[in-house]
Amino acid sequence: MKQHKGLWDKVVAIENVAEAARETMRGKRGKSAGARFFCDWEREVVRLERELREGSYRPGPYHYFRITDPKGRTVAAAPFRDRVVHHALVRVIEPLFEPRFMRTATPVAKAREHMPGCGGHWSSRNGFHGR
């Protein structure tokens, strides 16, 4: 198994945390948590980077709510700051794991097979013909 060194430094790099904040804010600036973060986002990014680097960051409490469409279930939503951390982590580790997964392993990957510019027709080129 290949080992990767220095991943945490990449996760907590100010540039990575800032880009993760931008990704997290996409489409959320009008919602209260996103708007609060966005109002002072540079300071929030610096504070979050410092907390991650020093080890003082603590995830916040999840917000639980019920939805009924398409079926009833309870959703647990992470606080906005935590979602920024999630994005920062995924930005670093996804490129390491993505090549190891079969393209048909997840519903999202399956959807990409038929999208223009996303490796369309992969399944037929590689002998995968349905379920």
Provide the residue type at 106 as one letter: T
78 and 112 inside one domain = no
36 and 94 part of one domain: yes
Statement to judge: residues 95 and 110 lie in one domain:
no
Over the stretch 10-44, which tens digit does the pLDDT of each residue have? 999 999 999 999 999 887 766 788 788 888 889 99
Q: Among all chains, which residue has been given the structure tokens 């603590």?
A: 58
Please give the residue range of the domain that contains residue 13.
Answer: 7-100
- pTM as predicted: 0.71
Same domain for 127 and 68, yes or no, is no
Taking each helix axis from N to C end, the angle separating 80-97 and 14-25, rounded to the nearest 10 degrees, works out to 110
Number of domains in the chain: 2
Structural domain includes residue 1:
no
What 78-81 contacts at long range (C-beta under 8 Å, 24+ apart), as own/partner pairs, is: 79/33, 80/24, 80/28, 80/33, 80/34, 80/36, 80/37, 81/37, 81/44, 81/48
Q: What is the pLDDT of residues 54-89, one digit of tens each?
A: 999 999 999 999 999 889 999 999 999 999 999 999
Rg, Å, the chain Cα set: 18
